[in-house]
A and B are shown apart, each in its own frame.
Chain A
């Protein structure tokens, strides 16, 4: 199988999504910056979306996978908005967004 056909197959899609998942997990674990952790979470969510869309085409040829990805994108948007609001609030309290500093339940 040459590389062009591989890129157009489900294996190509799943390989890209696996790499995105691994890099997202790596970013979540290694970043100290709270926004860096959020970037990793976005990568993981995109990996899941690619999987749903790829199976929607290559396996069932039906629309359900695309609908799940649509809901996933909307949930990710809501999650990013709330997370950034929390980060801004935390920055106002502590003058830093280092995740190691977020160790108290109260302020």
Chain B
């Protein structure tokens, strides 16, 4: 992979982390939702560079085009846009939140280094071949072949979620 491509990946990772930081700490929920969109886009680019072309498309269609718009829609339905009640940092859990989140760092760091040692064995040329091959056909065959049971379970789940969401948000009678 050329240095230019690696630079694009690095920028995508920095955008993801920076946007996630704004999502977590910005007191205005509307800005948080907008920056969540950039975090999702950064994750989609990371998927592309990890050889998951189909997943990058799904990420953009479902998350950027669906979930973020749904969240913005819900924010605008439930709040006055410029009302100061939007600002909601300062709950009583701020200090436990910081402690718990930072307490996870040593465990994650340890896990990262151990996994880094474990991964060395995979041959790089096999990895490059996997990353360069298109995945859509293989995923389609897997969904209707070896993974047909989880696929059907997901369809039932989506139907249930659809009916349940419509029932929950029905107009007052």
Contacts and interface: CB of A to CB of B under 8 A. Distances in A.
B13 A7 contact: yes
A16 B154 CA distance: 28
Nearest to B113: A11
A101 interface: no
A63 to B, nearest CB: 6
B119 A16 contact: no
Contacts, number: 246
Contact of A63 (B46, B59, B138): B138
Contacts of B59: 49, 73
Contact of B50 (A24, A57, A60): A57
Chain B contact surface mostly = helix
A66 B54 contact: yes
A22 B36 CA distance: 15
A60 B122 CA distance: 8
B158 A30 contact: no
A4 B98 CA distance: 30
Interface in B138-173: 138-139, 142-143, 147, 150, 154, 157-158, 160-162, 164-166, 168-169, 172
Interface of A: 3-5, 7-16, 18-27, 29-33, 35-36, 38-40, 42-43, 46, 49-50, 53-54, 56-63, 66-67, 69-71, 73-82, 84-89, 91-92, 96-98, 100
6 contacts: A21-B104, A30-B89, A59-B122, A67-B143, A76-B63, A78-B157
